[in-house]
Amino acid sequence: MLLIGLEALGASITRTLDRLGLAARFSWGVVSVAGICLVRFSLLVREMYFSGVKSLAIISVSGLFVGMVLAVQGYEVLQRFGSAESLGSLVALSLVRELGPVVSALLFAGRASSAVTAEIGLMRATEQLAAMDMMAVNPLARIVAPRFMAAVVSLPLLAVIFSSAGVLGAYLVGVQLIGIDDGAFWSQMQASVDFRVDVLNGLIKSVVFGVAVGLISVFEGYHAAPTAEGVSSATTRTVVTSSLSVLVLDFVLTVSMFRGLS
Amino acid sequence: MNRSKFDLAVGVFVALGMLALGFMALRVGNLASFDGSEGYRLEARFDNIGGLKSRAPVKSAGVVVGRVESIKLDNTTYEAVVSLRVKPEYRFSNDTIASILTSGLLGEQYLSLDVGGDPSYLSDGARIVKTQSAFVLEKLIGQFLFNKAAESSGTSK
């Protein structure tokens, strides 16, 4: 009984290590051919359309509503301390530092990465990737790299758009509906949000999330079992793994970026 | 959808992203406002700076005229050395008093400059001689309790 348990443990560790090694080698392969996107720019543009432009609606609407909710809840707490004017800095800091990069990465994983995984997985299942290999076209460069780079380029842009929409939503609710002073709202915000510390660090975060989400989606698609079931489970794995790694990476990045700040 | 439509949509997307970044930098962040890299430097020494932090505002008559650049401890006199940057359009007389005040009851601390009557002005790198340390609540309460105790022991005799 004990022996069987130990055997299962060993097998699962070997499998995990095997997959990690495969992922590392695959990632290196993708990153090393990612430069092709600069030469064949139209490939990147096409993928950016499907992952970036088509995510614009969900990202901007979610941002708007997240900002509005933050304004309502933040006002509720802040007015107890008589500092409702700080609402601007509360909303802007939470959006720029955390919610913008993280929530847009989560939405991106659900909206765009799952589609990329399903697409590449289906290409694998219908042997389109094998056919490309036969024609001496490197599928990593032709199919995988543009999709990966599209995530890396699109996600920071989407995160900034999310934060801007959120600030506008907070402005609508805080200033137009609740009636906080317009000037105080913006000036408190400007006094507390630092471009280098807050905005640029948020941008760096979303680039890292873009790399993680992009790599996970193409890896899961490329190594999906070539069956209908395999593609569906690969898509699920993409969303689950991306979301978890975004949240874990966010913690690591936040600790390293903002620890020194008082 | 043909290729030029893709190009157009992605172009609009990237432009929107850049616009949002500009909005972040100029309207939400403080890139447009005074960032402390221009202007002239002044130095002031305090016995106690309380909770003053670097990048705290420097105000005169309530108007932000600069920012605190760095705060160090002088190892020989054990005074806090605060260096600040003041916008070039503002000039202060040589006998300006620098004091550390708090905005509101629990707000952040800032450095206030009160101008004196000296006709000559502080130049780059000059030192503000007259300073007034931060108001530390604990010390004040301690002093108050001490005075109260002294008072009551005086009346009981």
Q: What confidence tens digit (pLDDT) does each residue in A179-208 have?
A: 888 877 887 788 788 888 888 899 999 999
Q: What is the mean pLDDT of residues B124-134?
A: 85
Beta bridge partner(s), residue B81:
B45, B72
- The DSSP secondary structure of chain A, one letter per residue, reads -HHHHHHHHHHHHHHHHHHHHHHHHHHHHHHHHTTHHHHSHHHHHHHHHHHTGGGHHHHHHHHHHHHHHHHHHHHHHHGGGT-GGGHHHHHHHIIIIIIHHHHHHHHHIIIIIHHHHHHHHHHHHTTHHHHHHHTT--HIIIIIHHHHHHHHHHHHHHHHHHHHHHHHHHHIIIIIII---HHHHHHHHHHH--IIIIIIHHHHHHHHHHHHHHHHHHHHHHTS-SSHHHHHHHHHHHHHHHHHHHHHHHHHHHHHHHTT--
Question: Nearest by CB to A198, which of B6, B29, B53?
Answer: B29
- What is the 8-class DSSP label of residue B45? E
φ, ψ of residue A261 in degrees (nearest 5): -80, 140
- The more confidently predicted of residues A102 and B55 is A102
Please answer yes or no on whether A92 and B55 come within 8 Å at the CB atom.
no
CB contacts of A198 in chain B (<8 Å) are: 29
Please answer yes or no on whether B9 and A186 come within 8 Å at the CB atom.
no
Q: Are A225 and A234 in contact (CB under 8 A)?
A: yes
Please answer yes or no on whether A199 and B13 come within 8 Å at the CB atom.
no
Q: Are A226 and A93 in contact (CB under 8 A)?
A: no
Res B25: pLDDT: 83
Question: Nearest by CB to B30, which of A49, A160, A195?
Answer: A195
Please answer yes or no on whether B29 and A186 come within 8 Å at the CB atom.
no
pLDDT tens, position by position, A16-37? 999 999 999 999 998 888 888 7
The answer, yes or no, to whether residue A70 has pLDDT greater than 50, is yes
Q: How confident is the model at residue A261 (pLDDT cuts 50, 70, 90)?
A: low
Res B34: pLDDT: 53
Please answer yes or no on whether B14 and A157 come within 8 Å at the CB atom.
yes
Q: Tell me the count of A-B CB pairs closer than 8 A.
A: 79
Res A107: pLDDT: 95
Torsion, CA B31, CA B35, CA B38, CA B40, rounded to 10:
160
- Looking at CA atoms only, how far is residue B57 from chain A in angstroms? 9
Q: What is the mean pLDDT of residues B129-147?
A: 85
Q: How confident is the model at residue B33 (pLDDT cuts 50, 70, 90)?
A: low
Please answer yes or no on whether A164 and B10 come within 8 Å at the CB atom.
no
Please answer yes or no on whether B6 and A199 come within 8 Å at the CB atom.
no
Task: Identify residue A40 by its one-letter amino acid code.
Answer: R
The answer, yes or no, to whether residue B12 has pLDDT greater than 80, is yes
Using a CB–CB cut-off of 8 Å, the residues of A that contact B are 42, 45-46, 48-49, 52-53, 56, 92, 96, 154, 156-158, 160-161, 163-164, 167, 186, 189-191, 193-195, 198-199, 203, 262
Q: What is the mean pLDDT of residues A219-228?
A: 91
Res A247: pLDDT: 95
The answer, yes or no, to whether residue A105 has pLDDT greater than 70, is yes
Per-window interface: B 8-67 vs A, CB < 8 A: 9-10, 12-14, 16-18, 20-21, 23-25, 27-31, 33, 53, 55, 57
The answer, yes or no, to whether residue B157 has pLDDT greater than 60, is no
Res B153: pLDDT: 79
Kindly list the distances between the CA atom of residue B96 and the CA atoms of B44, B57, B86, B90, B126, in Å, as whole numbers in the listed order. Answer: 11, 17, 13, 13, 11
Please answer yes or no on whether A195 and B13 come within 8 Å at the CB atom.
no
CB contacts of A189 in chain B (<8 Å) are: 28
Q: What is the mean pLDDT of residues A129-150?
A: 90
- How far is residue A187's CA from residue A72's CA, in Å, rounded to a whole number? 19
Please answer yes or no on whether B29 and A199 come within 8 Å at the CB atom.
yes
- The more confidently predicted of residues B36 and B103 is B103
The answer, yes or no, to whether residue A254 has pLDDT greater than 80, is yes
The answer, yes or no, to whether residue B17 has pLDDT greater than 60, is yes
Please answer yes or no on whether B13 and A52 come within 8 Å at the CB atom.
yes
pLDDT tens, position by position, A206-221? 999 999 999 999 999 9
Q: Tokens for B21? A: 């970044």
Q: Are B66 and B87 in contact (CB under 8 A)?
A: yes
Q: How confident is the model at residue A262 (pLDDT cuts 50, 70, 90)?
A: very low
Please answer yes or no on whether B13 and A56 come within 8 Å at the CB atom.
yes
Q: What are the strands of the beta sheet with B130-132, ordered from one edge? A: B126-128, B40-46, B80-86, B63-73, B57-60, B109-114, B97-102, B130-132
Res A108: pLDDT: 95
Mean pLDDT of chain B: 83
Res B50: pLDDT: 82
The answer, yes or no, to whether residue B156 has pLDDT greater than 60, is no
Q: Tokens for A9? A: 């443990």
